[in-house]
Amino acid sequence: MKKALSALLILFSVAASAQQDPYYTHFKDVMQAYNPAAAGHQWGEICISGLTHHQWRDYGDDTKARGTDATEDVGLTNVAPVTYNLNVNSVFKVGKGDDKFIGAGLTIIDDQIGFTASTGFMANLNFRKKLQGGFSEISGGLGLGSRQWGWENPNFKAKDPGDPNVPLTSASESEFNLNLGLQYKVASLASGKIKNLYAGFSVTNLNSPLYKIPAGLAGSIILRQYVPHYYTVVGADMPMGNFVLEPAILAKYGLLNGAYKPQIDLSATALFSNTFRGGIAYRQWGNSDALSILLGYQRDKIKIGYSYDITLSNIQRVSNGTHEIFVKYCIPITVSEPGNFFRESVRFL
């Protein structure tokens, strides 16, 4: 094949199409990253959360014997996907009542897959309306931002020197990005057996941004287009005496080879004494992808989570699994209600 890349390029070309948006084991803790309607925890707080996701640890590409010279040893390159996520958000009251709010937040995502790098900034804004006297809430949100994507120090070995499909130098481009989302919350159902129910639907990459990246050769351009991804998330709390069961499910659909292929995440954690958390999760994407172990701790305004994904696909032969760490801290804000204001004037006598 005249335009062949190394096996690494073929692998990550498929992975990039299937996994354009990063995924998170703690998906219910970073919903703002894919649903702008979820930005903002509650009125009177500013919340900051950070997450690091190191996928397929120690997965590398030994490019020896893949280049034009089988005796050339260029060493082992770590090409496993790595994702960093940062969210900052708050909620603001609209008007004098207690039923209308604005949620606002900033999301930053840095995602590296192989020799490609993507950094996105998204400003999220949503309008929230309390229903049934505050018993339930509905919100609609919009995310506006920019994503930079391109090659970062590519170290590919082409079988045919001068192949125009093989990038030679670092290059990137920034494009506008648009997300939309809806979310619905209910305080209690089934006589209190189900609490804090939430359901959300969102679309990312709605405008399908197209990237045209120079390959390093005269006139050679590599095209990359992000496709819309559709997310549906549902979760709730179920009090069980000494602990609270926290089931959640996330379904994501992304366009791959002309068809939408679903990815399903199932999560079941339990919160003990409102402090310690533990549970398991399962991810399916075509075939079984990963089984995860989750551990966590929370106290007052801080929340910490760790997960280890046990790889179930064929990648397990070269991977030591996936690590993810999540930290969230909410800062209380003193909000004073406006009082009556009078001026010394005969008009108020």
* CATH code assigned at 158: 2.40.160.60
Tokens (6 digits) for 227 = 């496709």
Mean pLDDT of the chain: 84
Tell me what pLDDT residue 258 has.
65
Domain tally for the chain?
A: 1
Report, as an integer, the average pLDDT of 137-152. 95
| Per-residue model confidence (pLDDT) at position 236 | 97
Does 15 score more than 50 pLDDT?
no
Is there a domain that residue 339 lies in?
Answer: no
Is 340 inside a domain boundary?
A: no
Taking Cα atoms as reference points, which of 263, 258, 208 lies closest to residue 231?
A: 263
- Locus of tokens 């809806």: 182
- Within-domain flag for 345: no
Asked, for residue 343, whether it belongs to a domain, the answer is no
pLDDT at position 246 is 97
Highest mean pLDDT among 165-169, 170-174, 201-205: 201-205
- Residue-wise pLDDT for 295-324, tens only, equals 999 999 999 999 999 988 877 777 778 999
pTM, entire model: 0.84
Residue 287 is assigned to a structural domain of this protein:
yes
Residue 51 included in any domain: yes
Residue 239 belongs to what domain range?
Answer: 7-333
Residue 164: per-residue pLDDT: 79
Say if 130 falls within a structural domain: yes
**Mean pLDDT along residues 274-297:** 91
- Count other C-beta atoms under 10 Å from residue 224's C-beta: 20
Classify residue 348: in a domain, yes or no. no
Cα separation of 61 and 81, whole Å? 13
Rounded mean pLDDT, 83-110: 94
